[in-house]
Amino acid sequence: MQGIVHQINVSKGGVPKLPITEGWVAPLGIEGDVQADRVHHGGPRKALLLVSLEDIESLCSEGFPIVAGSLGENLTIRELNFRLLRSGQRFYVGGALIELTQPRQPCRELDVYNRAPGLLIQSRLYDASARAGDPSSPVWARGGFYAAVIRPGPIATGVTIALADHAV
């Protein structure tokens, strides 16, 4: 199981995060990235947020005004099936090793992308089954997956992200 880092994203807090071509993955995330709400975001178990480019493109086709970085992700990944992601999987990405910790539960920060009354982006990213931890949900990990940094290292746009193993 592998994919490609399509885009690396950072911000001084909030969304959207903006692209950089390379960076350093540290224990608390990509150097230079800041979380506005450090109670609910960031920290060693949520150091990185990964989101699928294909899911972003699908949301765009539904009329949501988003691009890579809009969902607050640090790594926009292409060609990796996010429905197969599970907590405990470890991936090599650039010179770093990361471990998936939990699917992301979208927050109100994404309200800026809602369309018309009743068309909420959160409902397209997360449902009751995903909340219950059921990976058979059709929106499993569509909102992204958090990761801890096991081994820091450099990262650049275009590098491979590849399954290393499952955490022991």
Element (DSSP H or E) covering residue 50:
strand 48-52
Determine the structural domain holding residue 49 and report its residue range: 2-166
pLDDT at position 37: 63
Question: In angstroms, rounded to a whole number, what is the distance separating the alpha carbons of residues 166 and 88?
Answer: 5
CATH number at residue 155: 2.40.33.20
The count of structural domains within the chain is 1
Q: What pTM was estimated for this model as a whole?
A: 0.92
* pLDDT, tens only, 111-134: 878 877 778 888 888 899 999 999
* pLDDT, tens only, 8-63: 999 998 889 999 999 999 999 999 998 766 666 678 999 999 999 999 999 999 88
* pLDDT, tens only, 127-162: 999 999 999 999 999 999 999 999 999 999 999 999
